Amino acid sequence: MNSLTEEQLDRVAGVVLGTAVGDALGAPYEFEVAIPGPDGPQMIGGGLGDFAPGEWTDDTTLAWAVLDVAATGADLRSEDALTAIARHFYTWYRSGPPDIGAQTSMVLRSAGPDPTGTAMTAVSADTHARTGHTAGNGSLMRTAPVALAYLNDPDGLVQAARQVSALTHYDPQAQNACALWSLAIRHAVISGELDLRGGLAHLDDADAQYWTDRIDEAETRGSSSFRPNGWVVTALQAAWSSIHHTRADFDGDPQHLSQALTRAIAIGNDTDTVAAIAGGLLGARYGASAVPTGWREMCHGYPGLTGEDLIALALQAAAR
């Protein structure tokens, strides 16, 4: 946007910090490597990737890959931008990450070195055509930065969210989930409101009805029913259910961020991803100022960045 208020700038910062904090907070408990104690989840490290305390996982790393390109002012729909994102993905893949999603790994391995955006998308599309199974949660977990690049352009946001998803997750439902969640993040940054349904207007009638029904389920069923949550649909439902079912007690209170993240992690299964997805939207609503200081100070990860570094990139992306 041309000019953002102090509150909106705080919410811009919250998008990426909330993603990273949710990720690092959920990492120790992924697939029940450990169970949160009575004091709730802690940034104790470990988990499937034996992460350091406060270290984010592939969820935030892949979000950074998108954010770093968005911070240059590039149009994420362009071939140059998609190629830059694809090469960030591949450089990270070649570093031997301790935790990487199966779908993302398959595409990156097949795309080969120095992939272009077009080439990686073609591999992703071919994988979908052959298997019909490309709707994991691996593109939804990284979609938050897309919203920051299109605060002035919701239609452009939808296009970019779909194209960035399609680099590795070509399934239409994965693309629609990214569009919906990114639109909700955009709305929260601008207005300070949580609204997932507003984005339905950007889908065709059949998809809008499908996602209306899924959102209804998330709001009426207990959060624990969205387990397992490796599928993009149940991952979105788990994140939204955690936010929705804590909103009655905390809506408008910055504690809603930590309470909803606690609930998201308590669902179990893909805890870091669900909490990262939820954290991006919660941060968009409540801002970086709502993140507990201890979590904010501990947060760090590939490629040698801190949460404060992510915030600086987020502010650059939103300034376009």
Say what the pLDDT of residue 280 is. Answer: 99
Q: How far apart are CA 200 and CA 218, in angstroms?
A: 15
Q: How many CA atoms lie within 13 A of 170 on its CB side?
A: 19
Q: Once rounded to an integer, what is the mean pLDDT over residues 34-38?
A: 82
Q: Once rounded to an integer, what is the mean pLDDT over residues 259-280?
A: 97
Q: How far apart are CA 134 and CA 128, in angstroms?
A: 6
255-265 residue pLDDT tens: 999 999 999 99
Say what the pLDDT of residue 259 is. Answer: 96
CB burial of 44-71 (b: ≥16 within 10 Å; e: otherwise) equals bbbbebebeebbbbbbbbbbbbbbbbbb
Token duo for residue 93: 């893949």
pLDDT for 282 beyond 70: yes
pLDDT for 33 beyond 80: no
pLDDT for 1 beyond 60: no
Q: Which amino acid type is present at position 86?
A: A
Q: How many CA atoms lie within 13 A of 188 on its CB side?
A: 31
In CATH terms, the fold of domain 6-318 is ADP-ribosylglycohydrolase fold (1.10.4080)
Q: How many CA atoms lie within 13 A of 40 on its CB side?
A: 9
Q: Once rounded to an integer, what is the mean pLDDT over residues 160-179?
A: 98
Q: Once rounded to an integer, what is the mean pLDDT over residues 177-201?
A: 98
Say what the pLDDT of residue 159 is. Answer: 98
Q: What percent of the chain has pLDDT over 90?
A: 94
CB 90 within 8 A of CB 40: no
103-124 residue pLDDT tens: 999 999 999 999 999 999 999 9
| 3-state DSSP assignment of residue 258 | helix
User: What is the phi/psi pair of residue 312, to 5°?
Assistant: -60, -40
Q: How far apart are CA 264 and CA 240, in angstroms?
A: 9
Q: Cα separations (Å) of 126 from 34, 84, 107, 295?
A: 37, 21, 10, 40
Q: Cα separations (Å) of 294 from 25, 42, 43?
A: 11, 10, 9
Say what the pLDDT of residue 320 is. Answer: 76
Q: Residue 232 — left, alpha, or beta (φ > 0 → left; ψ -120 to 50 → alpha)? A: alpha
Mean pLDDT of the chain: 96
Say what the pLDDT of residue 147 is. Answer: 98
Say what the pLDDT of residue 78 is. Answer: 98
Say what the pLDDT of residue 32 is. Answer: 82
Say what the pLDDT of residue 39 is. Answer: 87
Say what the pLDDT of residue 2 is. Answer: 57
| Closest by Cα among 86, 26, 5, 4 to 282 | 26
55-97 residue pLDDT tens: 999 999 999 999 999 999 999 999 999 999 999 999 999 999 9
pLDDT for 237 beyond 90: yes
Domain map (residue ranges) of the chain? 6-318
